[in-house]
């Protein structure tokens, strides 16, 4: 049973436009959510996170929105740049001294110049 789902395996966006990546989860106990970016032949890199007590967190061009009632989160990238082309994973975790992450399957974002 996939507790974290990314239903779009790929997304193409024109440079300068907004990229919106979506993620759904099923476990209402998750209280912390993260987005990671992964380039080929590299490990995932932490991008941005959000606690369940918030509904929005912004860091530069990246904003994560959380809708707890819908069990949905999204990552907005504005404006999109060719260097943003990568696989984006959302992850969710429960409270604890070590945050064990459950990852989605990833979305390949391609930003076209």
Partner 1 sequence: DAGVIQSPRHEVTEMGQEVTLRCKPISGHNSLFWYRQTMMRGLELLIYFNNNVPIDDSGMPEDRFSAKMPNASFSTLKIQPSEPRDSAVYFCASQMLAHEQYFGPGTRLTVT
Site residues, partner 1 (CB under 8 A): 32, 34, 36, 41-46, 49, 89, 95-106
Nearer to partner 1, 30 or 89 (CB): 89
Alpha carbon distances (Å) from 20 to 29, 61, 79, 94? 25, 12, 11, 25
Q: How far is the CB of 109 from partner 1 (least distance, A)?
A: 16
Q: How far apart are CA 5 and CA 105, in angstroms?
A: 7
CB of 41 to partner 1, least distance (A): 7
Among the listed residues 26, 25, 35, the one whose alpha carbon sits nearest the alpha carbon of residue 106: 35
Closer by beta carbon to partner 1, 44 or else 63: 44
- Least separation in angstroms between residue 32's CB and partner 1 is 8
| Nearer residue to partner 1 within complex by CB, 53 or 98 | 98
Gap between the Cα atoms of 21 and 58, Å rounded: 15
How far apart CA 78 and CA 64 sit, in angstroms, is 12
C-beta of 3 vs 110, nearer to partner 1: 3
């Amino acid at each position: 049973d996939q507790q974290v789902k990314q239903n779009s395996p790929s997304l193409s966006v024109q440079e300068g436009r907004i990229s919106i990546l979506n993620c759904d989860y099923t476990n209402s106990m998750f209280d912390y959510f993260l987005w990671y970016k992964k380039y080929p032949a590299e490990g995932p890199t932490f991008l941005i996170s959000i606690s369940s007590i918030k509904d929005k967190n912004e860091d530069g061009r990246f904003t994560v929105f959380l809708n707890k009632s819908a069990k949905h989160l999204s990552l907005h990238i504005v404006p999109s740049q060719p260097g943003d082309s990568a696989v984006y994973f959302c992850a969710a975790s429960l409270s604890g001294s070590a945050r064990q992450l459950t990852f989605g399957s990833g979305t390949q974002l391609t930003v076209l110049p």
